Amino acid sequence: MYFATISADVISYTSLNEIEKRNLEESIHKLIDNLGELYKNEKFYGRLIQGDYIEFALNEPTFALRIALLLKAFVKSLSLEINKKDKTRLKHFSEHGIRLAIAIAPLETFKPEKGIIDGEAIYLSGRAIKRYSTSNKQKVVIKNTMYFCSSNEKIQNEFDVILALLDTIFTRFSPKQSEVIYLKLLGYTEKEIASKLEKYQSTISQHSTAAGWLAIEKAVNYFENYFNHAD
């Protein structure tokens, strides 16, 4: 049986001041609570560790990509003050927000009620993030921020390219575009988003088109259909 795990870390977290770190942590905790309610049937479990490291797990893979992209868009939509002396790290945070890895593989133990995740899936996603972590590095070089891992070679080959392409699309998002994509991934219509954000529907449509929503939607639907019909 395959499970899904998502491991992620905040890029340039050390460039935030203490107030912004706390605000970021509170926002992520709220996101985790919301996702827990939305995906309770999939036994979604999420936790924030040491302020900048995030782990999610689900008892089956279908919604893993949507949830990962929700996390990515959510963090990129946040307006955070970053130490202006460190312009390089400011640029990295603004462009990428977080680095994440999705893993589809078995778990030996998954007990959300006890906070226990153990097995191949969480090891795969965790190792991918640690391999590319920029924490405490003097020179930050970021080539990719979204990775796909699986113990199944066929699944790995199927989705590795899709994650790389989505990575390129998400890097170009502005905070406003990120907010629109986040709400679209939650299932809101453009009319509902316009009302929620108090904007014209035409403005929402422009943000959606500029962000490449049609390509994102196709990728997410393909992923969900694939695992919804997987044996």
C-alpha 148 chain-centroid distance: 12
Per-residue model confidence as pLDDT tens digits over 120-150: 999 999 999 988 665 444 444 457 899 999 9
- pLDDT tens track for 150-182: 988 989 988 999 999 999 999 888 999 999 999
Is the pLDDT reported for residue 231 higher than 70?
Answer: no
pLDDT value, residue 107: 96
Distance CA 196, CA 153 (A): 42
What does pLDDT average to over the chain? 88
Structural domains for the chain: 3-173 (3.30.70.1230)
Ramachandran angles phi, psi of 176, nearest 5°: -70, -40
- Cα separation of 6 and 138, whole Å? 27
Residue 149 φ/ψ region, left for φ over 0, alpha for ψ in the -120 to 50 degree band, beta for the rest = beta
pLDDT per residue as tens digits for the range 54-92: 999 999 999 999 999 999 999 999 866 554 555 555 566
